[in-house]
Amino acid sequence: MEVFYAPLYENKEFSKAHEVLKNKKSVYVPATTDSQKIHLSHAFGASFDVRFIITYDDIRANEILEESRMYDKDVVYFKGKDICFYQADICGNQIAQERLRTLRNFRENKKLTVVTTIDALMTPVVPPEVFNENIVSISVRQICELEALRYKLIHMGYEMSDIVETPGQMRIQGGILDVFDLTMDNPVRIEFWGDEVDSIRFFDAQSQRSIEKVKSVTFYPATENVIDENVFRDGLKKITKESKDHEKKLRDAFKTEEAARVKFEREEFDLKVSQFANKVNLDGYIKYFYPAASGFLSLFKDRKTIICIDEPKKVDKKGEESEAEFTDSFKHRVEMGYALPGQLKLLQSYSDVKKQYLSFPTVKLASFDDEPGKDDYAVNFNTVSVPSYNGAITELIKDLERYHREGYRVMVFSASKTRARRIADDITREGIAAFYSDNRERVLNKGEIMTFAGTLKKGFVYRNLKFAMLSDSDIFGRERKKRRGKKYSGLKIFDYNELKVGDFVVHEEYGIGIYRGIEKISQDRITKDYMKVEYAKGDNLYVPATSFDIIGKYSSSEGATPRLNRLSGKEWVATKAKVKEGVEETARELVELYAERQKLKGHIYEKDSLWQKEFEEMFPYEETADQMDAINAVKDDMETGKVMDRLICGDVGFGKTEVAIRAAFKAVMGGKQVVYLVPTTILADQHYNTFKERMKNYPISIELLCRFRSTAQQRATVKRMKEGKVDIVIGTHRLLSKDVEIKNLGLLIIDEEQRFGVGHKEKIKKLRKDVDVLTLSATPIPRTLHMSLTGIRDMSLLEEAPVDRLPIQTFILEYNEEFIREAINREISRGGQVYFVHNIVRDIDLEAEAISKLVPNARVRFAHGQMNEKELEDIMYEFVRGEIDVLISTTIIETGLDIPNVNTIIIDNADRFGLAQLYQLRGRVGRSNRSAYAFLMYQQNKVVSEIAQKRLEAIREFTDLGSGFKISMRDLEIRGAGNLLGYKQSGHMEAVGYELYCKMLNDAIIEAKGEEVIDNYNTRIDLNIDAYMPPEYIINENEKLIMYQRIASINGKVDYDEMVEELTDRFGKVPKQADYLLRLALLKSAAREEYVTLVRGSEGKIRVDLYPKAKVDPDKLVDFIKSYPKIRFINGTTPGFEISYKMCGLPERDEEKLLETAEKFIRDMRVILE
């Protein structure tokens, strides 16, 4: 680390200050810049074991965290809890995850850097000895009773689950234990041999496959509030006693309503505890269980620790405000009967926390040159900020020449190694020696200039030390934020969308029925598993395990309820025929349209100009891989001379607009005009402002055409467009008016085309005839559909989420006016705005009135879809401009709007919404670097058991983006498919279900393109063999069903081997019956390739039926029959073979013989095919 700190260590003032700190005194450093404070914190803290950097809010904490990674890659963030919302039934576990990771680091690492906010230090943590008692270490060959371990982990806060995919879950399957520790990146699988640990390995939560073997593992609690049984019992008694005393006190004061509320809250709490035990949120009651629990800093009293305070005055102010807010809030709650008097002691006072941190060596870092405290040692390093060069390289070179001449040591930081190397080369080409290095121990010589890969938000210069640290954002403009995100990979439906008994399913041959579970059926001493499907009129179909691949869950947009088919009826055949006709027409239209557009010759654009490259360099984010693919695809389209017709798909904030901006810039550079068509006035205004901001340094004329412009302004814009004097025009359907003529239109960008009316769509068709078209959609498109349309519809999918945003803190709680008041006041006090979703139009005005009374200082309006378009748009525009504090709205909240200032959403009656709706609604907030809050409320006075425990658990998964997120994505994708293919096709999707529709469309497209369609026939295997999953092998029925579907989809030896490997990994050694099932699936795959429709065998005979259109060579067939012993060829409408084999009389050996004979015959059959 010498490269960062050497100039400071050589400085006498720094050395004196360091000595002061060793004596546990305070050092005061005034006139510091933001990035310099972080540099000094790490420099002063280098000789200490623990470095605390304490700041005043989350935004600043995240900035410090990001920059601190350059000095210490293992820096952790101890995030504050929102204890004002302690009564929520369920909270997302992201905060708990970060806090527990810090606690793990505290226990395991001698050296530690912690970034935190002052309010985080005021909330209590359980005593360290309690935490330490609830840590479990397991190693290979250790003797450990699995049941005892299960009990311990449950006590530590882990929840039993069918499948482990999100932190805090655990599962036992036979002798295998899966656990996802909150402090780990991947879950752990422990395999037991009796009571001995046989192996430990990490596995991937998505694929469930093992990825790395380890010798030992340590599990930490899944909750901060680990409470011993006796302590838990005693604490509950204290809570009950105090609640009864408080109720009596209020009754004696004739406050009957408040007293009744105390009683109700107590009964609710008791009910939750009796039903959910340690799952209940106990944050607000921790002092009843551990009266000695104190703040996080108390854990570090025996460690060599330094405290660095970022902006002491702001930290003081925030600490005092947090204490006052908590005290006021809880006093009010105690008076109203929502809280107990003892809960007022929950928060540690700021004065106590301040005394605590000042007992450690403390560095106070301030931006202004204020007076130091009487006990502070003041030191000023005479620092200035680096000026912003904004791409003016000449000015930069002048300053670097001066630094070099005066003997300054200079470091230039860039986010990537490639860019850092390029900067060094560019500086050297200008005649000043510069070099790139990643050596952190190198000591710079006077006059040297070095570039380094690391994050520095804003550069600064220590004039006394002659040491300058510059960032690439100083040189080129706003800093480039690096994005790292996970892709949603469009998994097959059975990977997560578990079939549950009662779900609708689609059988390709028999139609829509209801799944009634898996049943084991024994016949002639042979046992097999079958899926039971119920049809109309009480008909039942039993589908063998090897045919599960022709059954899929029925899924459609908005969860439509389908009609059941009859097994014996012709309705399904007619439905399929109708849908087939529809998909064939769609496929034909798509293929013809694509071919027609391919014939058209478009404008050929030049390769990127210097201005284009410079313009793209100014983009303030690191592009995602998806974004770059989309941008390059668009440029290729524009440069090849074909008429572009490309769809860009991705959620709001995934970077679609930037793709459009770069395409528009390229079109303008090529001398063409651009039209950007959007469905609403507000969106037009937002995009107009974005384009103006991005292109302000270039001579590009951008206009807005919508009702936000006066008639005269609109007339002038239309005239200038006709004359070719407007480069880019952004507008609503006003752009489709008769008076609008564009002299030299080159690019048409359409945002959310499906939201335009039929008449407008016809006009868009005329406008787009022979110009490049870029269509943007915020609704995701299913990957299966994307694959089908490859080659006939140019599409780019943006699936990589932006990660420079804080996670949305999600709370699920009973409807409570006190919490609503507090949530709204909190958001308004930090200058933000609130969405309140109330989805009942008839009384939305009354709800708005109630909220206005609850929060009199808030500007409250309501909006719903039954308002006329202009009124609704005006309200939304006021909200965008910040003229409304709280918007009470139905679910019409615009999906395309990006309002970074709205960071609290309250959803009334959340239990009535589907997961997809909740996901979309929650996504309306959290679009900035501020903490965002989502409050999902259910109706008051509902008994907890009636809230549907399963729904709460589903929403809990949703809060942590587990499988709930994936299911939501699926619902949205199906909607996206309907948007892409049109209203008529949505009806076809509902008729046969989404999965089968995609399959049929894919076949129709292949046919329309003139390619060979694979014959559609099913292969059935019916051998008298015990082939099933023993109940003790896979205990969970849903998981067993998923495995059956996976096995039925085996397509060749590679799939078979992978399946065996996965089953062994996840469930242990594959039993014989399951092995037979796998071999039958492989046999089915091979038989299908040989045009076989049936393999049936028992009692020494095997029947093999061929598909009538099988491509068999007659000459080879004759030779094959002659060469094969004991075979008979059956000629007829269903041709085939009958093979005889000798049985030995032992059931197990006869089963093996039957399977081996069938496998060999299917292998040998290959010789007869053409």
- Count of alpha carbons within 13 Å of 601, Cβ hemisphere only? 1
**pLDDT score at 895:** 56
The pLDDT of residue 1102? 93
pLDDT at position 947 is: 40
Task: Judge whether residue 824 has pLDDT over 90.
Answer: yes
pLDDT for 976 equals 60
Domains defined for the chain, CATH in brackets: 2-125+292-378 (3.40.50.300), 136-219 (3.30.2060.10), 232-276 (no CATH), 383-476 (3.40.50.11140), 600-798 (3.40.50.300), 808-974 (3.40.50.300)
Whether pLDDT at 486 is above 50: no
Q: Which of 867-876, 961-970, 1071-1080 is predicted with the least confidence, judged by mean pLDDT?
A: 961-970
Q: How far is CA 542 from CA 216, 507, 512, 796, in A?
A: 46, 11, 14, 42
pLDDT at 951 over 60: no
The helix-helix angle for 256-276 and 312-336 (nearest 10°) equals 100
> Binning pLDDT at 50, 70 and 90, where does residue 373 land?
confident
The separation between CA 52 and the C-alpha centre of its own chain, rounded to angstroms, equals: 30
pLDDT of residue 962: 41
Packing angle, helices 963-981 and 915-922, rounded to 10: 90
Q: What is the pLDDT of residue 984?
A: 61
Query: By percentage, how much of the chain surpasses pLDDT 70?
Result: 88
Residue 659 has a CB neighbour count (10 Å cut-off) of 27
Compute the distance between CA of residue 848 and CA of residue 650 in angstroms, rounded to an integer: 33
Task: Band the pLDDT of 398: cuts 50, 70, 90.
Answer: very high
Q: How far is CA 284 from the centre of its chain?
A: 29
pLDDT of residue 559: 55
* Cβ-proximal residues to 444 (8 Å cutoff; 6+ apart), any chain: 3, 6, 7, 409, 410, 411, 450
Q: Could you tell me which residues come within 8 angstroms of residue 88 by beta carbon, excluding any fewer than 6 positions away?
A: 281, 811, 812, 813, 935
pLDDT at 766 over 60: yes
Please report which confidence band the pLDDT of residue 911 belongs to, taking 50, 70 and 90 as the band edges: confident
The answer for 347, left when phi > 0, alpha when psi is -120 to 50, beta otherwise, is: beta
Measured CA to CA, the distance from residue 248 to residue 155 in angstroms comes to 35
| Interhelix angle 1053-1067/1072-1089, nearest 10 degrees | 160
Helix (H) or strand (E) holding 798: strand 794-798
Check if the beta carbon of residue 1081 is closer than 8 Å to that of residue 1027: no
pLDDT, the chain, mean: 85
Lateral strand order in the sheet of 860-863: 90-91, 808-814, 932-938, 902-907, 833-837, 886-889, 860-863
Give tens-digit pLDDT for 1106-1162: 988 888 888 888 888 888 878 888 888 888 899 998 888 788 888 999 999 999 999
